[in-house]
């Protein structure tokens, strides 16, 4: 058997071939903006997120869930926990304020998943990151765009992590590409309560398709909406 390169986790990537739905484990790492501009979307974000989480908990297979909340600071709410055990968001755990340390949130979320897999936890068949933000980076201190770009490009190639980018008040296609996210994995969303709920509903449907398909990386997400499609109220 060929030796793994130093630093390569012993159980990742998993062997070729797809596990049956009921036996498949997907690690979902959700990076969610809670900067001040999300204040008018608090109720919609809480309800939409909780519905997304409930949908994934009820879907076939096993889901592990990590949640990274960010404003000026980074908050790791949970890390690789069985999704049924993850508490709902509420007005105490999701209180928007501050600026947008997007790069710090994404970079730290990636490293957290790396550590989990490098420690021999598993088996894990799919790893997917979801980044949802209504604004652009403006306050990171540890990670910059170049470092995040290099990390995402590397993980897509060497570990077959999947990345999905949801952006409001921006060109999410351009922003995601500048962060290293492969084409076909971004969607614009309307920063309204209805747009927020619809986006999380669409994400949930896409996530269940991804988990059912069993591929580590899809050809594209949100295909029926087209690149940069924007849910409307």
DSSP 32-93: EE-SGGGGGGHHHHHHHHHHHHHHHHHSSSEEEEEEEEESSSEEEEEEEEEGGGSPPP-TTT
Per-residue confidence (pLDDT) for residue 22, from 0 to 100: 73
Q: What is the SS3 assignment for 162?
A: strand
Residue 162 within a domain:
yes
Per-residue confidence (pLDDT) for residue 3, from 0 to 100: 44
**Residue 141 belongs to domain spanning:** 29-213
Residue 193 within a domain:
yes
Per-residue confidence (pLDDT) for residue 232, from 0 to 100: 37
Per-residue confidence (pLDDT) for residue 13, from 0 to 100: 56
Residue 206 within a domain:
yes
Angle between helices 145-158 and 102-118 (to 10 degrees): 30
User: Is 77:69 a contact under the CB 8 Å cutoff?
Assistant: yes
Residue 192 within a domain:
yes
Opening angle at CA 73, ends 184 and 122, nearest 5: 55
pLDDT in tens, the chain (233 residues): 344 444 444 455 555 555 557 789 999 999 999 999 999 999 999 999 999 999 999 999 999 999 999 999 999 999 999 999 999 999 999 999 999 999 999 999 999 999 999 999 989 999 999 999 999 999 999 999 999 999 999 999 999 999 999 999 999 999 999 999 999 999 999 999 999 999 999 999 999 999 999 999 998 999 755 444 454 33
Residue 229 within a domain:
no
**Structurally, how many domains does the chain consist of?**
1
Q: Name the H helices within the chain.
A: 42-58, 102-118, 145-158, 172-178, 193-213
What predicted TM-score, i.e. pTM, was given to this entire model? 0.89
Residue 209 within a domain:
yes
Is the bond preceding 13 in cis, omega lying within 30 degrees of 0?
yes
Residue 218 within a domain:
no
CATH of the domain at 49: 3.40.50.410
Per-residue confidence (pLDDT) for residue 4, from 0 to 100: 44
Pairing label, strands 162-167, 126-133? parallel
Residue 124 within a domain:
yes
């Amino acid at each position: 058997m060929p030796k793994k390169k130093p630093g390569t986790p012993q159980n990742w990537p998993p062997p070729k071939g797809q596990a049956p739905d009921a036996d498949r484990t997907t690690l979902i790492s959700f990076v969610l903006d809670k900067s001040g501009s999300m204040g008018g979307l608090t109720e919609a974000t809480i309800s939409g997120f909780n519905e997304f989480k409930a949908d994934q908990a009820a879907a076939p297979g096993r889901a592990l869930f990590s949640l990274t909340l960010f404003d000026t600071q980074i908050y790791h709410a949970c890390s690789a926990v069985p999704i049924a055990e993850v508490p709902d968001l509420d007005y105490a755990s999701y209180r928007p304020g501050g600026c947008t340390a997007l790069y710090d949130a994404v970079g730290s979320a990636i490293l957290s998943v790396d550590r989990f897999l490098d420690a021999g936890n598993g088996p894990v068949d799919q790893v997917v990151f979801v980044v949802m933000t209504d604004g652009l980076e403006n306050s990171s201190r540890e990670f910059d765009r170049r470092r995040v770009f290099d990390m995402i490009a590397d993980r897509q190639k060497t570990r077959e992590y999947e990345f999905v980018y949801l952006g409001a008040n921006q060109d999410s296609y351009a922003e995601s590409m500048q962060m290293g996210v492969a084409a076909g994995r971004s969607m614009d969303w309307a920063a309204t309560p209805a747009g927020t709920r619809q986006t999380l509903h669409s994400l949930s449907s896409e996530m269940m398709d991804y988990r059912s398909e069993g591929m580590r990386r899809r050809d594209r997400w949100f295909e029926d909406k087209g690149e940069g499609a924007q849910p409307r109220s």
